[in-house]
Structure 1
Amino acid sequence: MRDFANLLDRLVLTPSRNGKIRLLTDHFQAVSDPDRGYALAALTGGLDFPAVKPAMLRSLIGERMDEVLFSYSYDYVGDLAETISLVWPTTLAEETPPPLSEIVETLSRLGRAKAPSVMADLLDRLDPSARFALIKLATGGLRIGVSSRLAKQALATFGDKDISEIEELWHGLEPPYELLFAWLEGKAQKPVSTAKALFRPVMLAHPVGDGELSKLDPADYVAEWKWDGIRVQAVCEDGVQRLYSRTGDDISGAFPDLLSSFEAEMTLDGELLVGNPDTRTGTFSDLQQRLNRKTVSKKMLGEYPVFLRCYDLLQAEGEDLRGLPFIQRRAALQERISGLSQDRFDLSPLVDFTNWEDLDAKRRAPPHPVIEGVMLKRRDSSYVPGRPKGPWFKWKRDPFIIDAVLLYAQRGHGKRSSYYSDYTFGVWTGPEDAPELVPVGKAYFGFTDEELKQIDKYVRDNTIERFGPVRSVRAERDHGLVLEIAFEGLNRSTRHKSGVAMRFPRISRLRWDKPAAEADRLEALTSMLED
């Protein structure tokens, strides 16, 4: 446990991607099985301890210190695990805490009835750093800036392998991954997975750069619309169906309606969307109702049905097609798509164009509001994992821009836990002589570290109310911080008072120079909506 705690502490304090990879590879080198495998499982979401919940931990600390004092402490720190680990009553921590594998096995056997006493005993035996690691491990809420794919990249670096090899094996492996580590260290053959419907690493596109198209021949490329859903991979093999995100996460449980209609032996690459291919393509806000769920109610299935707009065919009847040119894979996909459920699967249409200017005009005025640009694919391109330069490009619509006023700020997590870094902003509505601000979105990136410090100071100096970790900021016609907000799209929303929901909002500029009264009105946003 000591090694795992030290790893988490250092990962939290290491901002760079390469630095995190070095920490992970050093950990895999220094720590033996099975502890390094359980650390990997914790980082990639491979462990689940349903008996331990944040509410139970709050109850435990509530028995040991004043609730108001804890509330103030949590408000200042901004992270539940860090707060509890620091304020837990000091005891004589063991010089050598239990190994990570022993703690994982203990948590795995826990039932709801015994969980509070077992967790309290473990917290008593650990020092603050190890308590933090224990709570993060038990609740699954690591939030330390390490994605599942970054952990897999560290494995690839550790074993001098291509990450695509690890991604193709991943869903056939189980913690603590001893066979995987033996292969990476050259002590055993590559594991042979007997699991069905495994993930194939996806091919990604580069954004079109300034002047880049002038170097390309339009005749070498085909174009298709870039739909605003989520990129997924649907796999059916020997009667086993799986749906994966672009990063290889298994999201099958959230979309049983799609998979129950998928019986053909193939691997499809496409865009997951809400609606029906023939009659309606819903917004990303609609799709969000279905995301990040382990199970889905009948009502949800009825209100937000999903379908797959297919881009590519990677495998069919056991034959790997990824080495074929795109045009041949496209023809094979077009031939087979008619055999699938027409309510759940359709073919992404190609966009006819004669030159780049023609395509640019179509990109700027697409035929559907859920289109966010175009994709360019070389006719002869094979399907290569990763983001190779040249075969595929994405050419998105220019972002929308508005000026909004900062309304609320919330503490961040990890290295931002001491700063107010999550911002809710609004625009003016109502009569011109008595307008009010209505929230229209939230953003937590787009600014530099120096700008973060400036906004944090502004929030502290202009707080008018506190709601736990959230502060309400002074925002009036003659006083307020104006933020220039860039976003990718806008949808109607009955869940928001403003009636609109932004897609990918981020702060593009701090408008210290602009009076709050000159920020945009809600009408400027609603005029962007397309019926």
Structure 2
Amino acid sequence: MRRFAELLERLNFTPSRNGKIRLLVDYFDHEPDPDRGWALAAITSTLSLPTLKAAAVRDLVLSRVDSELFAWSYDYVGDLAETVSLIWPKQHGVNVPAPTPTEVVDAVSRASRADAPKLLETWLDACTASERFALIKLLTGALRVGVSARLVKTALAERAKIDVAEIEEVWHGLEPPYRELFDWLEGTGPRPDPDHRAAFRPLMLANPLEENDLRNLAPQDFRAEWKWDGIRVQLAARGGSERIFSRSGDDVTRVFPEITEEMTRFDAVLDGEMLVARRDGDGALVVAPFNDLQQRLNRKAVTAKMVQQYPAFVRLYDILADGTEDLRGLPFDQRRARLEQWFARMKPVHMDVSPLVPFETWDELEAKRAAARDAGIEGLMLKRADSLYVAGRPKGPWWKWKRNPLTLDVVLMYAQRGHGKRSSFYSDYTFGVWRPADDGSLELVPVGKAYSGYTDEELLQIDRWIRAHTTDRFGPVRQVEPGLVLEVEFDSIHRSTRHRSGVAMRFPRIARLRWDKPAAEADTIETVTKLVT
């Protein structure tokens, strides 16, 4: 556990990407199997230990520590694992060695829900503070050490001197503790052979188009498509196996049974956008707001009623394979022609091909982009006509040119402590706008939450203001007097029955602090509802 604890601590305090990769490579070089495999699973969120949850950890620490002391400590630290690791009082006379990651996984996997907390108690007594932190993170997940699954795979690829796309292609056929993966990467075993009938192919991604980028691009070299407001998906159907993957490679097949059923009719790998769409009275297809699609996401089971209320639809962008033929090495124009030919041949229900947007000059395309919001479209995609389908985000072939964000002036209502490096600061902000109350006065109703967009210096300013203007406390959350106006940017706003205001923002972030503006002059719910799409 000591080496795993050191890894998490150093990752948390290493800001650079290359520095994190070096730490991961060193760990995988020196740790034995299967310890390094369980650590890999924990960092990439593929480790599931259902017998021990955060609530059990909380109950355990409360059996040793005064509840008020724990509450104040947790409020200050902001992270359960860190709080428990620091506050845990060891019992005298304990002479048990700290467990290895393998010992923890093996023991907890065999333990009942009643016995798991007893195991944890013994281990906490045997560990140092940093080892306790690593132990709890291993058991409960949510490491928050600034490392994505993609970065870990990049470290593995650099260590083995191969392309990260090769790891992506076999990753979803593997399971912890990844012995098969390490054997292959170290040359002591064959390349893992997942079910290639419906394996995930790493997606090609676009770079954001900055203000001056168009100057260096020739319009005739590019094709334009609309950027639809759904979730990017890959449909992989091969030899009687059908799977739907998200852009990160998560299997979401079970969430969209009507699409999976359609996939039984063909053998192909397709790139597209999952939407909710319905036919209007004239038979035209109308794309629903993203909020409707959210009703289908993160569900353990999808009912027939949900399928009927929120019908899924895939707007196709690209074709990666047709039967056994891999098309990723063809230029975009050729793949586009193959996609249109495939669609005309198969005529799949619940799908169509995203239309190309004709243009001759950037000014002409800019005018079309400006009108995208009225049609509920996120913006435009620019793709070089000769671009091959390359995994990752290569600079140059594909660009995303999103529509300009909407803005509102809102009032800070609640603030919550952050996590990790922000655990000592109030960095997560709930904000609202004015609405007429029943007695004729105005009241604030929350319309969104943001935790990005400000500088480190502004974070300090906001934190000081919150501490000086707190009116009530709810655990780690503070309610503040209505005095600080924030200008927030967001992509869109939708109706929502889950929020008291009746609306929900999509991707809100703080644009600037309006110290100059009185709270009474912030926007109203009437202004907000005019922006609803």
TM-score normalised according to structure 1 size: 0.93
Structure 1 gaps, min length 5: none
Tell me which amino acid in the other structure corresponds to 1:311.
Y
One of 422, 426, 430 as aligned partner of 2:428: 422
Q: What displacement does 1:387 show?
A: 1.8
Q: What displacement does 1:104 show?
A: 1.3
Q: What displacement does 1:338 show?
A: 4.8
After superposition, the Cα gap between the structure-2 partners of 1:133 and 1:197, relative to the gap in structure 1 and judged at 3 Å, is same
Tell me which amino acid in the other structure corresponds to 1:394.
K
Contact persistence 2:96–2:126 (CA under 8 A): no
Q: What displacement does 1:271 show?
A: 0.9
Q: What displacement does 1:433 show?
A: 8.3
The residue matched to 1:260 in structure 2 has which SS? helix
Write the mapping of 1:120-139 to structure 2, written as runs, cut at 5 A: 120-139=121-140
Contact persistence 2:98–2:123 (CA under 8 A): no
Q: What displacement does 1:512 show?
A: 1.7
After superposition, the Cα gap between the structure-2 partners of 1:341 and 1:499, relative to the gap in structure 1 and judged at 3 Å, is farther
* Residues 1:271 and 2:276 aligned together: no
The residue matched to 1:85 in structure 2 has which SS? helix
Q: What displacement does 1:403 show?
A: 1.3
After superposition, the Cα gap between the structure-2 partners of 1:169 and 1:340, relative to the gap in structure 1 and judged at 3 Å, is same
Count of matched residue pairs? 526
Equivalent residue number for residue 455 of structure 1:
462
After superposition, the Cα gap between the structure-2 partners of 1:19 and 1:295, relative to the gap in structure 1 and judged at 3 Å, is farther
Tell me which amino acid in the other structure corresponds to 1:268.
L
Write the mapping of 1:113-512 to structure 2, written as runs, cut at 5 A: 113-194=114-195, 196-263=197-264, 264-276=266-278, 278-338=284-344, 342-366=348-372, 369-430=375-436, 434-475=441-482, 480-512=483-515
**Identity within the alignment, %:** 57
Tell me which amino acid in the other structure corresponds to 2:11.
L
The residue matched to 1:300 in structure 2 has which SS? helix
Contact persistence 1:424–1:442 (CA under 8 A): yes
Q: What displacement does 1:188 show?
A: 4.5
Tell me which amino acid in the other structure corresponds to 2:412.
L
Contact persistence 1:94–1:126 (CA under 8 A): no
Tell me which amino acid in the other structure corresponds to 2:51.
A
Tell me which amino acid in the other structure corresponds to 1:303.
Q
CA distance in 1, matches of 2:197, 2:419: 38
Tell me which amino acid in the other structure corresponds to 2:38.
Y
Q: What displacement does 1:228 show?
A: 1.0
CA distance in 2, matches of 1:433, 1:332: 63
Tell me which amino acid in the other structure corresponds to 1:446.
G
Q: What displacement does 1:320 show?
A: 0.3
Write the mapping of 1:20-169 to structure 2, written as runs, cut at 5 A: 20-91=20-91, 96-169=97-170
Q: What displacement does 1:232 show?
A: 1.4
Tell me which amino acid in the other structure corresponds to 2:470.
T
Equivalent residue number for residue 521 of structure 1:
524
TM-score normalised according to structure 2 size: 0.93
Q: What displacement does 1:144 show?
A: 2.2
Contact persistence 1:261–1:341 (CA under 8 A): no
Q: What displacement does 1:445 show?
A: 0.7
1:132-168 alpha-carbon deviations (Å, 9 max, x no partner): 2222111222222221111111112222221111111
CA distance in 1, matches of 2:420, 2:250: 23
Tell me which amino acid in the other structure corresponds to 1:482.
V
CA distance in 2, matches of 1:253, 1:474: 46
Q: What displacement does 1:254 show?
A: 3.1
CA distance in 1, matches of 2:55, 2:261: 36
Alignment RMSD, CA only? Answer: 2.3
After superposition, the Cα gap between the structure-2 partners of 1:194 and 1:374, relative to the gap in structure 1 and judged at 3 Å, is closer
CA distance in 1, matches of 2:461, 2:445: 24
Structure 2 gaps, min length 5: none
After superposition, the Cα gap between the structure-2 partners of 1:96 and 1:339, relative to the gap in structure 1 and judged at 3 Å, is farther
Tell me which amino acid in the other structure corresponds to 1:134.
L
CA distance in 1, matches of 2:14, 2:441: 48
CA distance in 2, matches of 1:418, 1:154: 31
Contact persistence 1:262–1:340 (CA under 8 A): no
Contact persistence 2:268–2:321 (CA under 8 A): yes
CA distance in 2, matches of 1:414, 1:305: 40
CA distance in 2, matches of 1:341, 1:440: 42
CA distance in 1, matches of 2:239, 2:278: 27
Which piece of structure 1 moves more, 225-234 or 64-73? Answer: 64-73
Contact persistence 1:262–1:341 (CA under 8 A): no
Contact persistence 1:233–1:246 (CA under 8 A): yes
CA distance in 1, matches of 2:302, 2:14: 37
After superposition, the Cα gap between the structure-2 partners of 1:256 and 1:118, relative to the gap in structure 1 and judged at 3 Å, is farther
The residue matched to 1:258 in structure 2 has which SS? helix
Which piece of structure 1 moves more, 495-504 or 418-427? Answer: 495-504
1:298-332 alpha-carbon deviations (Å, 9 max, x no partner): 44334333221111100111110011121221222
Contact persistence 2:409–2:488 (CA under 8 A): yes
CA distance in 2, matches of 1:316, 1:94: 62
The residue matched to 1:330 in structure 2 has which SS? helix
Which piece of structure 1 moves more, 324-333 or 192-201? Answer: 192-201
Contact persistence 2:25–2:159 (CA under 8 A): yes
After superposition, the Cα gap between the structure-2 partners of 1:19 and 1:452, relative to the gap in structure 1 and judged at 3 Å, is farther
1:117-146 alpha-carbon deviations (Å, 9 max, x no partner): 223233233222222222211122222222
Q: What displacement does 1:176 show?
A: 1.9
Tell me which amino acid in the other structure corresponds to 1:443.
A
Contact persistence 2:219–2:360 (CA under 8 A): yes
1:380-421 alpha-carbon deviations (Å, 9 max, x no partner): 221111222222111110111111111100111122111111
Which piece of structure 1 moves more, 294-303 or 34-43? Answer: 294-303
Tell me which amino acid in the other structure corresponds to 1:135.
I
Tell me which amino acid in the other structure corresponds to 1:438.
V
After superposition, the Cα gap between the structure-2 partners of 1:82 and 1:436, relative to the gap in structure 1 and judged at 3 Å, is same
CA distance in 2, matches of 1:255, 1:321: 26
The residue matched to 2:146 in structure 1 has which SS? coil
CA distance in 1, matches of 2:431, 2:212: 35
Q: What displacement does 1:423 show?
A: 0.4
Q: What displacement does 1:173 show?
A: 2.0
Contact persistence 2:276–2:287 (CA under 8 A): yes
Which piece of structure 1 moves more, 112-121 or 145-154? Answer: 112-121
1:265-314 alpha-carbon deviations (Å, 9 max, x no partner): 11111111123475432222222233233433444334333221111100
CA distance in 2, matches of 1:141, 1:529: 34
Contact persistence 1:405–1:483 (CA under 8 A): yes
Which piece of structure 1 moves more, 58-67 or 2-11? Answer: 58-67
CA distance in 2, matches of 1:443, 1:399: 15
